[in-house]
Structure formats: C-alpha cells, structure tokens
Structure 1
Amino acid sequence: MAYVVTENCIKCKYTDCVDVCPVDCFHEGPNFLVIDPDECIDCTLCAAECPAEAILAEDDVPGDQQSFIALNAEMSKVWPIISERREPPPDADDWNGTPGKRNRLER
C-alpha cells in the first residue's frame, strides 16, 4: 500500500511533505504533487506534514477521490522528482480546502 496525493493538493502544492520523505518518492507537476507508488515505503511521515491534509493511505482514499490513485502512478512516471521543500504558490492558502478543484489540475 502506498500513500496518495489527493485533490486538495491542486493549486496548493505545499511541499512540506517532500522534506520528510526518506526515499524521494514525490514528483512535481505544474500545480500538484504526486507520490510514486513503486517508491513509497509507507512510512506515514508525509501525511502528517501536509498542511492541506491531501495525502492519504491508499486504503483510506474516499470513493470520489479514487481516480487519484491512478493519477499518482501515471504522473510519477512523467513529472520530475522533487526532493527539497519550496515555497508554495502565493495563493495556496486561498485554495486550501476549496472543493471541486479536479478540473484545475495542470498536466
């Protein structure tokens, strides 16, 4: 079981999670992060660090977020690894908790 970045990360893209990942399994897209399920060691450290509470264990991903399991796997093969924390977008706090952001995902 891997951890999964879900919808609330879209346009927030806080990178606090990246700092604590011992295996560098995060990948960065234009406005979203994903976790490589083949590299994730299920250490749970990232979930606690996410200010947007967007990281969940695969078994805990709600039904309406299930597509993010495949999205993480797909985009982790395309997007570059991110291994150091960066400043979030200036409007990240405004987007945190906003529902229905799926259509704002940039690939």
Structure 2
Amino acid sequence: MQLKRIFPNAMAPVQYLVSRWGSDGNSLGSYSYDVVGKPHDLSERFRVPVDNLFFAGEATSSSFAGSVHGAYSSGLMAAEECMMRVLDLFQLVMGEEGPASVPLLISRL
C-alpha cells in the first residue's frame, strides 16, 4: 500500500514473498553471526547491488554484524548508493556534465 501511494501508476507486483521470521521455527527472528573460517569480505559481497536492487541489513555490515546498529548503518549506506545511482542515471539522460542538484527523497518505511 505504501508503494502504491508513492508510485500510483506502478503495475501490481508479479510475485512477492511475505516472511514470518517471528514464527519461523528455523530462525525465530534471529540475527546472523560469524562462523569460524568465514571469508573476511563476505559482508561486502552480500552488499553488492544487483541491477537496481540494493541490499542492506545487519548481515551486510562489516563493522557491526549481527546488530541493530549494523542494520541501520547499512541501510543508510544502501540509500546513499541508490541515490548516487539515480543521480548518475539522471545526468546520463539529461546529458549534463558535472554535479546535478536534484532533490531525492529516500523513505524508510
């Protein structure tokens, strides 16, 4: 419903998944944790965008993994990356050189 208010002309989703972490017997709302032998760059690899899909969450935080602070700070980082991608696309379409001054609202719903 929130996205429909932001993008009233958007098509309905083709497919979606609703997670129930609080009642899932395999997780019960748990956070990720580091295991022995984990590659040191794993959180950075989790954070790599796929096309226009940006990832955030405590598992993508190399400094604060497994914490609410890690989830929050990685969300800010993903929002910044998203904003930079939008500005890059805007400059490409508009054919502008140099920095653009475009207001952009990133919503944390």
TM-score calculated relative to the size of structure 2: 0.23
User: Which structure shows the bigger proportion of residues in helix conformation?
Assistant: 2
Structure (1 or 2) with the greater strand fraction: 1
Q: Which has the higher contact order (CA 8 A, sep 6+)?
A: 1
Give the TM-score normalised by the residue count of structure 1: 0.23
